[in-house]
Chains A and B, each alone.
Chain A
Amino acid sequence: MPPVTFNIWRGGAEGGEFKEYRTEVTEGMVVLDAVHQIQAESANDLAVRWNCKAGKCGSCSAEINGKPRLMCMTRMSDLPVNQPVRIEPMQAFPSIKDLVTDVSWNFEVKKRLKRFKPRKPDAPDGSWRFAQADTDRVQEFRKCIECFLCQDVCHVLRDHHKHEEFIGPRFFVYSAALEMHPLDEEDRLEDLKRANGIGYCNITKCCTKVCPEHITITDNAIIPLKERVVDRFYDPVRMLLRVIGG
């Protein structure tokens, strides 16, 4: 197989550019392998973050031919190699160096969100009882590996930089996992509407499309939360009933 050309973004917070590299691609290689090979052969100082190479740690997020993806889960055989493969860092977060971005904003957001608040234990030994059927719905959300690809593709963050007012799809998934949990007693609706900016989501489903864990982010987490927010803040009949009912 002839060598494949890669255009890899090199630079940091002050700016950067695409540099061209060529390397041999062999059977079974993923994009992360190719990047490591380039690092070994011709760019020893190329910065790339990775850890598990198994699609589970969420470290190797980048944009491959314009699509947010995990480098370790993108097979070279699935990419057209008759033209250069373009690899660049996530666009919704500040650059550190080359393919590595600073995703710490996400951890700050998570600290702000209300924690899990279970009701009092059901049994004297401090344990709870609940039906499996009631947690089936939130199980999907727990697959999240915090790769932040959904945050990266969401135009509210990526293009409009609403990082102060909008927590992004990853944290709607997190909020949904807690809010819909049968044991949880916390009330997050006020926060979702105001501080967390759920109204900014305009249901493009881009987050759902890029999630490597195939979490149905928009349909199963965001829209159901939006509907709960409607119950509380926008449905006139429900609001009236609440006033009458005290």
Chain B
Amino acid sequence: MSSIQLFRPRAFGETSRRDIWWIQPLAVFLGFSAFIVYSTWAAFQNAHYTFGPYLSPFYSPEIFGDSHHALFGPKPGWWPGWLPFSPAFLILWAPAGFRFTCYYYRGAYYKAFWADPPNCAVGEPRKSYWGENSFPLIMQNIHRYFFYLAFAFIVILAYDAWKGMWFEDPATGATSFGIGIGTLVLIVNVLLLGSYTLGCHSLRHLVGGRFDHLSARPGRMKAYHCVSCLNRKHMLWAWLSLFWVGFTDVYVRLCSMGIWTDWRIL
């Protein structure tokens, strides 16, 4: 193609588009930034992440920590003294890596954070381009391994939602079944995260997409159609679950701080 005269590539932000094309990348930029800032702040707090039977999803599973949810007791002795500690640090990298390498998010943040392109048919700031063809972005191909981890998290968060139904009587110490607003918040959280995770493109490939003769594997065929169904609205699930997982942490935090009251329904 080098021998043929092509149109001059447009300058950064140059376009003939008439619509407000920058609104969408701006909204994505603000939405992601708000989440990153809040979740980082919340992870550093190492406080107010439990309330009654509830555990914030940013801190689950609590591998080491001070709450009664901790699996292996308090902060381990080998943890370097100079390094701030929070149970969230031990686990948040997994869901963060899952979202970072998600096909939907990739397309969205390449536009919103890297202007590559700023939006469709809008000029770019840089001439050079490697895409996902070489290091570092070639690493995005690891996504399916983050999926395996994310799937384990869904199971753990489902267990948390179950535990959120068992309230302890402060007087007797006995636990009894109940449902609080917080229980519903945790249930919605796992449903939204489940719908996002189970609509993953890598899962779609693994359960059936990689076969050309799916009809010979009826179980896989069903699974493929289920995943495809969630996958069609993957962007929607991505945003709903992102918002709700943040809100779940806010809910537990504010209840724990005594600012919100957790109403019991049952």
Cβ–Cβ < 8 Å partners of A14 in chain B:
5
Given the interface pairs A65-B16, A66-B16, the reply to whether A155 lies near B6 with Cβ below 8 Å is no
Q: For chain A, residues 1 to 43, give those with C-beta under 8 angstroms from any C-beta of chain B.
A: 13-14
Q: Is the CB of B5 within 8 A of A164?
A: no
A131 contacts which chain B residues (CB < 8 A)? 213, 215
> With the chains together, A226 CA to B142 CA distance in Å?
12
Contact B110 A204 (CB under 8 A): yes
Is residue A210 within 8 Å, beta carbon to beta carbon, of the partner chain? yes
B231 at the interface (CB under 8 A from A): yes
CB distance from A155 to the nearest CB of B (A): 4
Contact of B205 among A88, A161, A184, A224 (CB under 8 A): A224
Are A182 and B9 neighbours in the complex by a CB distance under 8 Å?
Answer: no
A188 interface residue per 8 A CB criterion: no
Size band of the interface chain A makes with B: 35 or more
Q: Which of B2, B9, B110, B142 is in CB contact (< 8 Å) with A202?
A: B110
Q: A197-B133, A227-B205 are in contact. Are A163 and B124 (CB under 8 A)?
A: no
Q: Is B30 an interface residue (CB 8 A)?
A: no
Query: Which among A133, A200, A223 is the interface contact of B131 at CB below 8 angstroms?
Result: A200
Whether B249 sits at the interface, judged by CB under 8 Å, is no
* Minimum distance in angstroms from A210 CB to a CB of chain B: 7
Which of A92, A226, A229 is B6 in contact with, Cβ under 8 Å?
Answer: A92
CB of A201 within 8 Å of the partner chain: yes
Query: Which chain B residues numbered 134 to 151 have a C-beta less than 8 Å away from chain A?
Result: 134, 137-138, 141-144
Q: Is the interface of B mostly helix, strand, loop or mixed?
A: loop
Q: Does A234 contact B (CB under 8 A)?
A: yes
By the criterion CB–CB under 8 Å, are A202 and B106 in contact? yes
Q: Does A105 reach chain B (CB closer than 8 Å)? A: yes
Residues of A143-199 contacting chain B, CB below 8 A: 153, 155-156, 158-164, 180-182, 184, 197, 199
Q: At the interface, yes or no: B212 with Cβ under 8 Å from chain A? A: yes
Contact with A199, one of B6, B16, B133, B209 (Cβ below 8 angstroms):
B133
Which size class do B's interface residues fall under?
A: 35 or more
Are A67 and B17 in contact, with the CB atoms below 8 A? yes
Q: Which residues of B contact A91 (CB under 8 A)?
A: 6-7, 10, 121
**Across the interface, do B144 and A230 meet the contact criterion of CB distance under 8 Å?**
yes
A170 to B202, CA, bound (A): 22
Q: Is B210 positioned at the interface, with any CB of A under 8 Å from its CB?
A: yes
A204 close to B111 (CB less than 8 A): yes
Contacts A163-B1, A203-B107, A223-B201: A134 and B212 contacting too (C-beta < 8 A)?
A: yes
Which A residues lie within 8 Å of B191 (CB)? Answer: none
Cβ–Cβ < 8 Å partners of A94 in chain B: 4-7
Query: B117 and A95: CB pair below 8 A?
Result: no
- Complex-state Cα separation, A153 to B107, whole angstroms: 15
Interchain Cβ contacts under 8 Å between A and B, 15 examples: A95-B5, A134-B213, A158-B9, A160-B129, A182-B212, A184-B212, A199-B133, A203-B103, A203-B106, A204-B111, A209-B120, A224-B205, A227-B144, A227-B210, A229-B141
Known contacts A14-B5, A65-B18, A164-B1, then 11 further A-B pairs from the complex at CB < 8 Å, ordered by chain A residue: A86-B18, A94-B5, A133-B215, A153-B121, A156-B131, A159-B123, A160-B127, A181-B212, A199-B131, A230-B141, A230-B144
Q: Interface on B for A, CB 8 Å cutoff? A: 1-2, 4-7, 9-10, 15-18, 103-104, 106-107, 110-111, 116-117, 120-121, 123-124, 127, 129-134, 137-138, 141-144, 201-202, 204-205, 209-210, 212-215, 221, 231-232, 234
Q: Which 10 A-B pairs have the closest CB atoms?
A: A66-B16, A199-B133, A66-B17, A163-B1, A206-B120, A227-B205, A203-B107, A131-B215, A200-B131, A234-B141
